[in-house]
Chains A and B, each alone.
Chain A
Amino acid sequence: MEKRVIFKHKLLPYILVAPQIVITLLFFIWPASQAVYQSVLQEDAFGLSRTFVGLANFAYIFTDETYLRSIYVTIIFSCSVTAIAMSVSLLLASMADRAIRGATTYKTLIIWPYAVAPAVAGVLWYFLFNPTIGIVALYLKIYGYEWNHSLNGGQAMFLVVITAAWREISYNFLFFLAGLQAIPKPFLEAASIDGASPFRRFWTITFPLLSPTTFFLIVMNVVYAFFDTFGVIHVITDGGPNYATNIMVFKVYHDGFLSLDLGGSAAQSVILMIIVISLTVVQFRYIERKVYY
């Protein structure tokens, strides 16, 4: 049964929820509606004139090859980031779950990268792989591999994926570890008495029981790769070379603030908004239900 609180004063409940409502309106609803509004306008670069153009901005971006390319790049990028961040963190978490000695230190160390700001993480990896002064680039060169992510699109993608995934591993690690520790030990003991090897126990018992965590993290990681990696891209590649790392959120920024195509940029934001809303719906609607065993 729902518990209803009865307030004596009629206004009090509204005052109590007001801060939350104000913040939502001010920082979410207003900018979002502005974006929707701007997406149907064409505006000159100085903001002096604007014309209503209907869905022309949307029609345009879907014929724009750089936009279609950025969708493709975003898919590659977010899938790689999610795959790498998820698999590495699951591996680390299952090892931490077994560790007896030094477990606390180990866990603390793995959580550190999450405290590093995306831009700082970007700078860090940028220096490591910098073709002129980067130590990793130097060693690659010694072993005969020419590294220059400012020229090679594939290498640039690899670098931003690694950087973005590196930060997310800490986050995933925490959730996976908590998920692993929540699995009652008798399940695994029963499986080992049933004759399952550790590897088999992991895939037939642990992994399925971890599915709520895994599904949650997939959504979180995709959202992260879509929206929170702007700093990484901005610092390391600036979307280049030749748009090889030009993910959608970066293109919004680039088109809006550098190319001053406010209408087109707003249309792109609206599309991103639709994506994030649908991801959230998926998470709330399906995943919460699906993962029950």
Chain B
Amino acid sequence: MADVSLDNVFKTFGKTEVIHGISCDIQDGEFIVILGPSGCGKSTLLRMIAGLETITKGDVSIDGTVVNRLEPADRDVAMVFQNYALYPHMTVFKNMAYGLKIRKMPKAEIKRRVEDAARILEITEFLDRKPKQLSGGQRQRVAMGRCIVREPKIFLFDEPLSNLDAKLRVQMRLEIRKLQETLKITSIYVTHDQVEAMTLGDRMIVMDNGYAAQIGTPLDVYERPATRFVAGFIGSPAMNFLTAVVSADGRQVHLHRDISLTLQNGGLPGHGGQKIIMGVRPEHFVLGQAADAMLHLDLDHVEILGSDTLAYGHLGQDKTQVTLRLPSVYHFKKNTVLHLDIPSKNLHFFNTDTGQRIEMQA
């Protein structure tokens, strides 16, 4: 068990900088998820913590000790790889015992630890098998077992569920969370799956192109996304973005010449006359009355999912595409007009150039 601290960490491959200074303090026992699209540098960041990649600039510390120059072996971390990386020529038992044997642990102790871990993960019957005789889910458990037996300071997960089918992924996701809660070992988990990030993490680091766009609790990230990128990346279907102009007094936003929204609270007084981006999550639209609704959406297409209904349509003269998600089932006809309201608290505003969040006044 340990806390981990990243202090302005940079990574350069040749002349290309891929990680542009990330800082984060991870508490002892915390479950941190690093989330981002592929190529954003999230795996690189994890590998830097593991010691598989050198750190170009900045410090990574574990338990207060800078580990930049330590070999992976000396950092006392354990890692689950995307393809599990189980040693193909060893049995499950030997795979799990490998790290313990290297640490010259007595045979009886190795046996006890491996058997304990196998019992927790329900893989006892596979201990004598080779990895290729196991299914994907079983291999995944073995890979976790190999980490558990070591009782390391930190668990590192590199997209461990991405090779499993959807059903197994949900099941393993729960098990990983349960396991982490039982063992209370600091965990860092890389994924591109926002559901995993939302459900597993105590906090998450949302990465955008080598920058930490936002670090916060899942709910925080969902409710108050720090940048337009985060807003668009978290949430499914993705948030709708509309260009808007703030009225001179900051009390209203004009979507087009024909659509204006009145902000019910303090508004955006500092941004009068500015062009901004307004974001609305599909699930935050509310059906209203024809007479006083804020928006009138021309419906293009409807998908009924059983639990929800997804509606796709366009707004106003420039036909901005909008997606909305309504709870329960609605049998809308194509080409009808939906009258929509949006609670003011569910509006998000972002700077057009920087993409940074603009807060409304309370």
**Real complex partners, A and B?**
yes
A20 to B150, CA, bound (A): 59
Q: Which residues of B contact A293 (CB under 8 A)?
A: 88-89, 130, 132
Chain A nearest Cβ from B259, distance in angstroms: 53
Q: Report A174-233 residues with CB < 8 Å from chain B CB.
A: 184, 186-187, 189-197, 200, 204-205, 208-209, 211
Interface contact B88-A193, CB-CB below 8 Å: no
Interface size class of A (residues with CB under 8 A): 10 to 19
Known contacts being A200-B102, A209-B89, is A190 close to B81, with CB within 8 Å? yes
Q: Which residues of A contact B79 (CB under 8 A)?
A: 189-190, 193
Binary contact readout A142-155 vs B (1 if CB under 8 angstroms, 0 otherwise):
00000000000000
Interface contact A192-B85, CB-CB below 8 Å: no
Binary contact readout B69-81 vs A (1 if CB under 8 angstroms, 0 otherwise):
0011100011101
A190 to B156, CA, bound (A): 11
Known contacts being A189-B52, A190-B79, A293-B130, is A195 close to B102, with CB within 8 Å? yes
Chain B nearest Cβ from A201, distance in angstroms: 10
Interface contact B50-A193, CB-CB below 8 Å: yes
Q: Which residues of A contact B50 (CB under 8 A)?
A: 189, 193
Complex: chain B residue closest to A292, CB-CB: B132
A187 to B51, CA, bound (A): 15
Confirm or deny: B357 has a beta carbon within 8 angstroms of a beta carbon on chain A: no
Interface contact A194-B85, CB-CB below 8 Å: no
Interface contact A208-B83, CB-CB below 8 Å: no
Interface size class of B (residues with CB under 8 A): 20 to 34
Interface contact B130-A193, CB-CB below 8 Å: no
Chain B CB within 10 A, most for which of A189, A191, A194, A205: A194
Cβ-defined partner of B150 (8 Å) among A189, A194, A196, A200: A194
Q: Report B98-126 residues with CB < 8 Å from chain A CB.
A: 98-99, 102-103
Confirm or deny: B229 has a beta carbon within 8 angstroms of a beta carbon on chain A: no
Q: Which residues of A contact B72 (CB under 8 A)?
A: 189, 192-193
Chain B CB within 10 A, most for which of A187, A195, A205, A293: A195
Cβ-defined partner of A194 (8 Å) among B52, B83, B89, B98: B98
Q: Which residues of B contact A195 (CB under 8 A)?
A: 73, 99, 102-103
Q: Which residues of A contact B51 (CB under 8 A)?
A: 192-193
Interface contact A190-B85, CB-CB below 8 Å: yes
Q: Which residues of A contact B99 (CB under 8 A)?
A: 193-195
Q: Which residues of B contact A (CB under 8 A)?
A: 50-52, 71-73, 77-79, 81-83, 85-89, 98-99, 102-103, 130, 132, 146, 150
